[in-house]
Amino acid sequence: MRINGIARDIPINERRFDGVNVELSGRLENITPPKHEDKVGLLEYAYNSIPEINQEDIQYMLPAVINEVHLFNDGNGRTSRLLHLLLCNYSSKEEFLDEAKRALGRSGRYNSLDINPELVNGEIELEVLKNHEWVFSEPFVGQLGRSNFEFASAELHQISKDISEEAKEFFRLYKSDQYYTITAIHMLFGDRNVKKLFTDKYRKANPQDLVSPLIMAGALVKDDWQKLIDNFYQLKKEEAKTLVDIFKNPDKHKTKRGDKTLAIKDAFIEDTFIEDIQKRGNFI
């Protein structure tokens, strides 16, 4: 809070975790961070994991968690960049201050190392999904349980505006992350009961089973929608914890980069520097 307060010029007595109902615009889609009430617990999980993590890796894990959890309404990037610098070693105070000025400047995200978990969000999401009965033949090509189903997204524009606020929220979350919302449905209904939500309307065009938003809107009650939302955010909590776990147990979390297999945390650090070189070249 102190770092963020300094970066945003917020008076000491007004500094707090104010990242409530924050939505992020990513490169390909909107990103939903964890629930605000879960954020402090996730930050504590990261801090409590420090003794199990290599000292140099902490320089990347903690700043990445700041960005992943999004504790603040603004300045998360500046906070994470400065935290990274505080965890690094410098030959002099002047060297650190020069780096800090770059990190906190208007163009800080372009001329200072940006520890952005978005670089490995795909790999981390796959790790979470595999713990929920997904089996993948290749990244994001797989089956959930015994029911290989998707969402009949073509029906979303046909949904009545009179549906509950919980239903509206769940359909908003679908636009944020399709895999997590599909998994949330399977977590609630299981292989057998989820079939009651399937539609045959698009069978000729798409032989895969499709969950119908229209059937859901007519069949589910407010409590059902809330459980689906809770399931979605449970997956977001698991995602944030997995970000920490790739540093705690690197041998258990692997990915591929071209023809080589390496720990996801090593891929993340490597990609961070590649991204930094590329953006500095474009910025210049």
Contact 17, 72 (CB under 8 A): yes
**Helix (H/G/I), strand (E/B), else coil: 177:** coil
pLDDT at 211 (0 to 100): 94
pLDDT value for 108: 87
Predicted pLDDT of residue 116:
92
Q: What is the pLDDT of residue 78?
A: 94
Q: What is the pLDDT of residue 155?
A: 92
Q: Residues with Cβ < 8 Å from 22, sequence gap 6 or more?
A: 33, 70, 73
One-letter-per-residue 3-state SS of 7-62: HHCCCHHHCCCCCCCCCEECCCCEECCCCHHHHHHHHHHHHHCHHHCCHHHHHHHH
Position 204 scores a pLDDT of 77
Question: What pLDDT, on the 0 to 100 scale, is given for residue 31?
Answer: 84
Domain ranges of the chain: 2-119, 123-247
pLDDT tens string, the chain, 284 residues long: the values are 999 999 999 999 999 999 998 878 755 567 899 999 999 999 999 999 999 999 999 999 999 999 999 999 999 999 999 999 999 999 999 999 999 999 988 888 888 899 999 999 999 999 999 999 999 988 898 899 887 789 998 899 999 889 999 999 999 999 999 999 999 999 999 999 999 999 998 887 777 889 999 999 999 999 999 999 999 999 999 999 999 999 999 999 999 988 999 999 999 999 999 988 887 776 55
With b for 16 or more beta-carbon neighbours within 10 A and e for fewer, the 136-146 pattern comes to: eeeeeeeebbe
**pLDDT recorded at residue 181:** 96
Residue 168 phi/psi, 5-degree rounding, is -60, -40
Cβ atoms within 10 Å of 243's Cβ, excluding its own: 27
Residue 183's pLDDT is 96
SS3 207: coil
Q: Which residue has the tokens 């309404």?
A: 73
